[in-house]
Structure 1
Amino acid sequence: MLAFEKALEMGCTGIETDIQRTKDGVLVLIHDEYVNRTTDGVGLVCDYTYKELKKLDAGKFKDKRYKNIKIPTLKEFLSYVKDKNIKINLEIKNSIIPYKGIEKEILFEILNTKVEDNIIVSSFNHNSMIELKTMYPKIKIAALCEYIVSDLEKYKIDKFEYIHPNYIFADKKEILKCHNKKMGVNLYTINDEKNMEKFIKYKIEGIITNCPDKLKEVIDKKKF
């Protein structure tokens, strides 16, 4: 939660985060399927109960100043952002571990918090996104992928509201193709100023970055 608070202090207009599920069905925000890299624990998130997960330290790996930071729940996060007027990109991490039924559970939390208008739900599991859209047609979905054109054709995802490709494989022509299909383009993960400026000029809808302060400087400086 400290990271989300800091992001808003830095001027972010949106937050991207990742959803896994505990052994006892609690939706939590952590990028990796394993807890090893970002906590003092070992093993898969899905093998921990929420009570067990809360015992892990998710801050001191970064710096001893952040000792005792805990992995947040989706419910906790949505409660925090519901009055913030920012875009929220929830990535379901269900392409490696399928987390059966997680779409319905996430949708419940979104609708219960009444933040659906500000939400984009994304995943590399495109069938999962289609299932979510079937449940609630008003929800905005995004297809995470590496390439734009080949993936549009291969996975038939041109009916999604957004596509989230790796910026390394994106170019102006392919972005235009998405725009012609009325699809928004949010690129990941751009951390250098040169590429930030380049893709902003291509009229993409959003940049996912680890350096929001740098992106804000680019936007303010260039006055796009």
Structure 2
Amino acid sequence: MEETLIYAHRGSKGTHPENTLIAFEHAIHLGVDGIELDVHLSKDGHLIVIHDETVDRTTNGTGYIRDLTLTEIKRLDAGSWFSTEYEGEQVPTLSEVLELMKNTTLYLNIEIKADIIPYENIEEKILQAIRDSDFDEKRIIISSFNHYSVAKFKKLAPNIETAILFMEILLDPWEYAKTVGATSLHVYEPVAFTETAHEALKNNFPVRTFTVNNKNHMRALMEQNISAIMTDYPKEALTIRSELKKKETGT
């Protein structure tokens, strides 16, 4: 069986200000297998890497991303809310993250945050950013809770992997995923422990689960060969995976 991959959720969110370049750099340095991030559109059409629809929680500013220009967003401090150590960290663009990661071997999971605000043409813009950066498309995974967005992206770029995000226990979700062109499932942590996840894996559908921060849960999911875990504490997950590998090989 293939080992469980470890994705840094919004970078190393538990130890650094989420969705910032310093958080992504730290995750890369740790040796994770992939990074997960979120993308919105600014007022002037730039792809902004941030989780919420507003800048209120993770910067010293206020307002919706869709109502702010890139220049206005770049003026904000996205680090001090987490720790004064990170004062001056900016909100990155997707292009900046692609540039940071393109010469690594890591996977990049881009979550399209179009489930609350249906950003116009965000799928086309993301695809253009990927291609402009010369990033290896085999290392890209596009996911969203907005399955219309997933379906649209798949039509634009059939060779890029897509995943549906969901939080419920669904009946045969891999069959539903096929109808929107998705080839993997990104599930809420409790779902990863259910028969749904086991059956999906048997049907050759990768199951990646968010957000796994409990060490016992990390270990249990790795032991059941879940495809990947997304965690705010990638260093801890890497340590547990290393311990399990030593136990398995007897070294």
TM category (shorter chain) comes to over 0.9
Which stretches of structure 1, 4 residues or longer, exceed 6 Å deviation after superposition?
Answer: none
- CA displacement 1:10-40 (0-9 Å, x = unmatched): 2211100000110000001001111000000
Matched, 1:114 2:140: no
In the alignment, structure 1 residue 147 sits paired with structure 2 residue 173:
no
**Shift in Å at residue 172 of structure 1?**
4.8
For 2:201, give the aligned amino acid. H
Give the aligned partner of residue 82 of structure 1: 102
Name the residue aligned to 1:124. 145
User: Structure 1 108/148 Cα, relative in aligned 2: closer, same or farther at 3 Å?
Assistant: farther
Q: CA deviation at 1:147?
A: 2.2
% of aligned pairs identical? 35
Aligned match of 1:203: 225
Report the TM-score when normalising by structure 2. Answer: 0.85
Counterpart of 2:51 (choices 21, 24, 31) is 31
Q: Is the 8 A contact 2:77 2:87 kept in 1?
A: yes
Say if 1:148 and 1:170, in contact at 8 Å, map to a contact too: no
Report how many residues are paired: 223
Give 5+ residue unaligned stretches, structure 1: none
CA contact (8 A) 1:148 1:165 kept: no
Structure 1 match to 2:28: 8
Look up the match of 1:167: 189
Runs of at least 5 residues in structure 2 that lack an aligned partner in the other structure: 1-20
Whole-Å separation in 2 of the counterparts to 1:215 and 1:103: 31
Q: 2:159 aligns with which of 114, 138, 154?
A: 138
Structure number with higher relative contact order (C-alpha < 8 Å, ≥ 6 residues apart): 2
Partner secondary structure for residue 117 of structure 1: helix
The CA deviation at 1:194 is 0.7
CA distance in 1, matches of 2:44, 2:146: 23
The 10-residue stretch of structure 1 (132-141 or 107-116) with the greater mean CA deviation from structure 2: 107-116
**Length-normalised TM-score, structure 1:** 0.95
Could you report, residue by residue, the CA deviation over 1:94-127 in whole angstroms, capped at 9, with x for unpaired residues?
A: 0001001100110111122232110000000011
Q: Is the 8 A contact 1:14 1:88 kept in 2?
A: yes
